[in-house]
């Protein structure tokens, strides 16, 4: 089985310099490594790594369902909305309710769709498991059963 931990996410970009600057300003990602042939770079922080690959002829509009999602804290979400406005980014969807929190999807300078949301999938699933456990305890059913 292939491990499920993401190593890095590769994105096609129109302009490598513009994209390195965008991900630094918008997400605080730092340049990790850069190559000239082909023109690409790794940017990252705190275990998140993006591989940016310059591909000026890529048809970004043809892949509208593909996106990269970043979690944020509830109290920081308004700051994300402000940043999206300040950077004059195209909003694809939102802000709107999702999983008991909110989400916004927008395009980076190359047209890739990015999502910022809260709660994170990990937090949402943990709360869902806690709620299911509370329900089982209140109903008197055991939290889990072994099937023989």
User: What confidence score (pLDDT) does residue 140 get?
Assistant: 61
CATH code of the domain occupying 65-138: 3.10.180.10
Residue pair 94/103 in contact by the 8 Å Cβ criterion: yes
User: What confidence score (pLDDT) does residue 37 get?
Assistant: 83
Q: Give ranges for CATH 3.10.180.10 in the chain.
A: 1-54, 65-138
Q: Name the token pair of 123.
A: 């937090």
Identify the three-state secondary structure at position 2: coil
d(CA 52, CA 32): 11
1-54 fold: 2,3-Dihydroxybiphenyl 1,2-Dioxygenase; domain 1 (3.10.180)
Residue pair 34/40 in contact by the 8 Å Cβ criterion: yes
Do the bridges between strand 113-118 and strand 67-71 make them parallel or antiparallel, or are there none, so unpaired? parallel
- What is the maximal distance between C-alpha atoms in the chain? 63
User: What confidence score (pLDDT) does residue 65 get?
Assistant: 54
User: What confidence score (pLDDT) does residue 104 get?
Assistant: 92
Which residues of the chain are modeled with pLDDT < 70? 1-4, 61-66, 135-148
106-120 confidence digits (pLDDT tens): 999 988 888 898 888
């Amino acid at each position: 089985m292939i491990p499920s931990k993401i190593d890095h996410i590769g994105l096609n970009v129109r302009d490598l310099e513009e994209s390195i600057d965008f991900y630094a300003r918008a997400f605080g990602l730092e340049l990790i490594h850069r190559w000239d042939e082909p023109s690409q770079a790794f940017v990252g922080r705190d275990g998140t790594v993006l591989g940016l690959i310059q591909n000026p002829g890529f048809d970004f509009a043809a892949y509208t369902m593909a996106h990269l999602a970043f979690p944020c804290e509830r109290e920081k979400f308004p700051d994300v909305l402000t940043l999206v406005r300040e950077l004059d980014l195209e909003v694809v969807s939102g802000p709107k309710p999702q999983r008991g929190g909110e989400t916004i999807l927008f395009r980076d300078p190359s047209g890739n769709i990015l999502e910022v949301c809260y709660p994170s999938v990990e937090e949402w699933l943990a709360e869902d498991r806690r709620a299911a456990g509370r329900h089982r305890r209140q109903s008197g059913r055991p939290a889990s059963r072994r099937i023989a």
